[in-house]
Structure 1
Amino acid sequence: MKKSIVALSVAFASFSTYAANYSVDARIDAMGGAGTAAADYLAAGFHNPALVALEPTSAFGVLFPTIGIQFRDPDELVDGLENFGDVYDNFRNNPTNSDNQTNTANALRNLDDRAAYVSGGIGGAIAIPTNTVSGNFFVKGYTEAIVLPEISDADVSAIENGTSTSLSSNARVLAFGVVDVGLALAGNVELAGQRIAVGVTPKSQQLYTYHYEVSVDDFDVDDWDADEHRTEDSAFNMDIGVAWQNGPFRVALAGKNLISNEIKTAFRTREYTYHVDPLYTLGTAYVTELATFALDIDLNDQTRFTGSGPEIKDNTQLVRVGAEFNAWGWAQLRGGYINDLEDTLDGTLTLGLGLSPANTVHFDISASIIDTNSYGASAQLAFMF
């Protein structure tokens, strides 16, 4: 793992003001994120509030902590930005040297049309299922960022000619963070002889952005989160969900962030806006004591940053599939896959393990594998009494 990638990942993981899909759930992460119908009542606030009531005989439970981080840098962009300053210094010290000209022009050209993505989250929940109204109080936080260079062809030409003394090419980090504090409430209703769980989550949100922009030769991964790059706002929002179960079969629908909000970044050479818009997900699952199979489909795409500059390719619409195999309630093996219909993100393979002695203490870990320079992990601890 490269030093600069580690630094950026740790920086986002330690975003201490947030408490992610904004979901963070190691069990469901290992199942490709397919939690709309398959998540348990402890994680219902992260995926679908109706799931709090789907198993009304479940025990009082506590989930804390759950934490995860993922980064995607298939072209090693962050390393390239970190290293470019040294290459450019060599060029400035001797701009007429043909090797310096070639190496620096190639290093700058190789940054063009690249992007790196980082995300992370942490959370916890307390759930009380009942035969009337079930409740799940949760706190979750999530942050995501995109690292973008803007390379000038004129800079490349000037370096190749040995005439460049200053650069107009920039690198920027755009980051968004949210803290959700919510109470998922759900109950069961009878409709045409079928039991349907219905849930709603009123929640408060604290929103943050960071906008770090610097010349490519001065990029420093440690400087993105300085106070002058930050904006923040607060908002009220709501999630809703329904879930139907007939024997082992489940079908569920969840709507997250039903109230659209926007938050603007700090102004640099330009200003960006992050959009918090509704996301609707249809889920189905087959759940037995020995195995669970789940499928989630986002019904709309999710757009994030917009601005006056070059278009940012960060919109996603995900299809998630996952499975869990349960060894008599004591250990679990999980796997899944995530596909982005918008082709912004490469396909992701997920896997994980769970330990649940006596169905009281639950420890889950997961990993995601995208390519040799893009992967992630999450872990959580839960207690059911």
Structure 2
Amino acid sequence: MKLKNKILSVVALSTLSQVAYAVPFTFEARSLGMGGVATATADLASAAWANPAMLTNQRPDDDFSLLIGIGAFVRDNDDLLTDIDDFQAADDRLQAAKAAANPQEIIDASTDMLAIIQGIDGKDMAVDVSGLAAMGLAFDSFAMAISIRADAIGAGTVTDLSQNITEVDDVTKNILNIEGVLATEFGVSFAKAFRVANRKLSVGIKPKLVDLQAITFSESIKTIDGLDSLTDQSNKRDLGTFTTVDLGLAYDVTKSFRLGLNIRNLITDEFDLGGTVLNFDTEARLGLAYHNRLLTVAVDYDLRENKPLLANPVFDDLKTQNLAIGAEFNAFDFMQLRVGARKNVASGIPDGAKDTAITAGIGFWLGFNLDIAATFTENSVGGFLQTGFRF
């Protein structure tokens, strides 16, 4: 089995295993289907992650909601996985040529391996595994939610590259370095609506407890066979637990237009990871939405660049600053069709990371909610599945 297929298998297995830790991420299925917008469109079920102020945005007859979801995302902006597969295929040819004592094929295979290595410098890949659960409650004067999520974020890049044809077969060269972080978050959100200039202004706050664990390992791309080492306890490190808070605002500009602002991680922290520093930074997102009974259209924009939750500076080009647009068409409250697009406008990122991600999703009300969403670009793919109910 090719390494690319094995990594996708590991993602699927990791997705299931994360449920034991809790459940994660910035996206949930409705948001993902709409390009990632949620700051001014979230509801009682999803506001805990998108914008705590939007807890006051429940349906008139809904006082309770429960949401459980899980998703996975793979990004390979530079086709690193393809390069590793090609390198291993060329190495198979090299070993066969050595066994057959074929000097010309030995030279040809070694030359191909060196050419791949020369083009691999600076490339990286990333995998996110996400899961989440939330319970929302609406009262006469305020709304609240209890939420838990776990973000399993991993990235890999190749270092110690072969410098000449004699080194391509050396297992101490061409090392794939994998770094991962498991961030488990438990939060309690509160929101209250006020009247300002005869319009609804909602304010929300979310104190939360965050636990961080790190995973690191290295292996030559010549010998690596899947990513089983990710589950090896000896490669894990407990970075500790800390407390931070999110703040949200939502203002109804008119009956149909709403502004939203979500500021996450107002209290920042940093962690030492073997000589490199893992920063847990503040993030801010602004959203604008138009909504009526049948249609919702929204735009979200990150107000600053967000570094990946990884310590090694070689992964800095995985940073994001997303501009997202999305729409939802509501068919008689039974089915919702969603579509959207998202573009990373951060500076200094690979060309593949600049591709516009197209998203789509569908939701059903069958006595319970069922939401499915997917996203893709030329070099990335992801999906989210969630269920829940409300009354």
TM-score (norm 1): 0.89
Does 2:47 correspond to 1:41?
no
Q: Which moved more, 1:107-116 or 1:84-93?
A: 84-93
Aligned to 1:188: 193
User: CA deviation digits over 1:186-215, x for unaligned, max 9?
Assistant: 111222322211110111111121111223
Structure-2 change in CA distance of 1:130 and 1:85 (3 Å): same
Structure-2 change in CA distance of 1:141 and 1:214 (3 Å): same
User: 5+ residue gaps in structure 1?
Assistant: none
1:217 aligned residue (216, 222, 240): 222
CA shift for structure 1 position 158: 3.5
Aligned to 1:201: 206
Aligned to 1:383: 389
CA shift for structure 1 position 119: 0.8
Distance in 2 of aligned mates of 1:173 and 1:11: 17
Aligned to 1:30: 33
Does 2:316 correspond to 1:330?
no
Letter of the structure 2 residue corresponding to residue 195 of structure 1: K
Tell me if the contact between 1:202 and 1:238 (Cα under 8 Å) persists in the aligned partners. Answer: yes
Structure-2 change in CA distance of 1:250 and 1:43 (3 Å): same
CA shift for structure 1 position 307: 5.6
Distance in 1 of aligned mates of 2:281 and 2:32: 22
User: CA deviation digits over 1:24-82, x for unaligned, max 9?
Assistant: 41011100110000011110101100011234744133333211111112444235435
Letter of the structure 2 residue corresponding to residue 247 of structure 1: K
Give matches, 1:298-317, under 5 Å: 298-304=302-308, 310=314, 312-317=316-321
Structure-2 change in CA distance of 1:166 and 1:218 (3 Å): closer
Tell me if the contact between 1:231 and 1:264 (Cα under 8 Å) persists in the aligned partners. Answer: no
Distance in 1 of aligned mates of 2:61 and 2:197: 25
Cα root mean square deviation, aligned: 2.5
Letter of the structure 1 residue corresponding to residue 260 of structure 2: A
SS at match of 1:4: helix
CA shift for structure 1 position 172: 0.9
1:135 aligned residue (133, 144, 154): 144
Aligned to 1:287: 291
Tell me if the contact between 1:60 and 1:128 (Cα under 8 Å) persists in the aligned partners. Answer: yes
SS at match of 1:46: helix
Tell me if the contact between 1:336 and 1:349 (Cα under 8 Å) persists in the aligned partners. Answer: yes
Give matches, 1:139-288, under 5 Å: 139-152=148-161, 155-159=162-166, 165-220=170-225, 221-232=227-238, 233-245=240-252, 246-265=254-273, 267=274, 271-288=275-292
Tell me if the contact between 1:212 and 1:225 (Cα under 8 Å) persists in the aligned partners. Answer: no
Aligned to 2:7: 5
Tell me if the contact between 1:82 and 1:219 (Cα under 8 Å) persists in the aligned partners. Answer: no
Distance in 2 of aligned mates of 1:379 and 1:309: 32
CA shift for structure 1 position 327: 0.8
2:373 aligned residue (350, 366, 378): 366
User: 5+ residue gaps in structure 2?
Assistant: none
Letter of the structure 1 residue corresponding to residue 65 of structure 2: V
Aligned-pair identity in percent equals 23
Distance in 2 of aligned mates of 1:287 and 1:136: 23
User: CA deviation digits over 1:205-245, x for unaligned, max 9?
Assistant: 11121111223323232213322222221111111101011
SS at match of 1:302: coil
Aligned pairs, number: 373
Tell me if the contact between 2:285 and 2:302 (Cα under 8 Å) persists in the aligned partners. Answer: yes
Tell me if the contact between 1:283 and 1:297 (Cα under 8 Å) persists in the aligned partners. Answer: yes
Letter of the structure 2 residue corresponding to residue 175 of structure 1: G
User: CA deviation digits over 1:341-382, x for unaligned, max 9?
Assistant: 11632321000111124xx422110010111x5211111112
Give matches, 1:92-103, under 5 Å: 94=98, 97-103=106-112
SS at match of 2:333: coil
Tell me if the contact between 1:4 and 1:82 (Cα under 8 Å) persists in the aligned partners. Answer: no
Distance in 1 of aligned mates of 2:86 and 2:14: 21
Aligned to 2:57: 54
SS at match of 2:31: helix
Aligned to 1:64: 67
Tell me if the contact between 2:155 and 2:315 (Cα under 8 Å) persists in the aligned partners. Answer: no
